[in-house]
A and B are shown apart, each in its own frame.
Chain A
Amino acid sequence: SQQGEEDPQALSIQEGENATMNCSYKTSINNLQWYRQNSGRGLVHLILIRSNEREKHSGRLRVTLDTSKKSSSLLITASRAADTASYFCATADGEYGNKLVFGAGTILRVKS
């Protein structure tokens, strides 16, 4: 089954810098979602990008999708210490696209 794989595994940047995380997957998709997880907490949905979209923005977040390369990227601009978290991409599998398949995630640390 398809699986999102994020890279890098860990990223450490200074506050104010931009953070870019990448995700690759294996099979065709209808959409790809990005989630954030703070340490010891649940997942927060960030953004969903559909297969017919190439780029999507939400506040300081910018997501791109390249279906020919089966990859997506999440850019966080002007990072803040509060952005410190793990970030996961997920693709939808199953007959109804209901089964989310997550990668191992990127651990982002923003130093103030």
Chain B
Amino acid sequence: NAGVMQNPRHLVRRRGQEARLRCSPMKGHSHVYWYRQLPEEGLKFMVYLQKENIIDESGMPKERFSAEFPKEGPSILRIQQVVRGDSAAYFCASSRKAVQETQYFGPGTRLLVL
């Protein structure tokens, strides 16, 4: 049973470009979460999605960031017009159910904005 998959593992963008990060949850998991980790810090929650629905986006910056989890295909975290401060590791996690369930994390995408 494959774990949570994320791609790309590393992404380099210039300021002003768009970044698209993909996450495929574990088989049988329909709940996806995105977290961001800045250097030397713990992870910070960004958004929680179920298929075709955003459940909790309280951790998402108000501008330039969006997330989706379509009926078919992976979840996408999209960052428009990236700035240097967006450089971080972005982790996706998935769980089987929503309530009080263990979240399993992917290997992360390391975004570097030049």
Contacts and interface: CB of A to CB of B under 8 A. Distances in A.
Interface residues of A, number: 28
Interface in B66-106: 91, 93, 95, 98-106
A102 B44 contact: yes
A103 B56 contact: no
Contact of A42 (B45, B48, B59, B91): B91
A31 interface: yes
Contacts of B99: 96-98
Interface residues of B, number: 30
Given A30-B100, A42-B108, A99 B43 contact: no
Interface in B18-54: 31, 33, 35, 40-45, 48
B43 to A, nearest CB: 5
Contacts of B43: 43, 88, 90, 100, 102
A40 B48 CA distance: 24
Contact of A100 (B31, B35, B40, B58): B35
Contacts of A31: 100
Nearest to A9: B40
Interface string A81-112: 00000001010111111111111110000000
A27 to B, nearest CB: 15
A94 B41 contact: no
Contact of B48 (A35, A45, A94): A94
**Interchain residue pairs A-B with the least CB separation, the first 6:** A102-B42, A43-B105, A42-B107, A96-B98, A102-B43, A97-B100
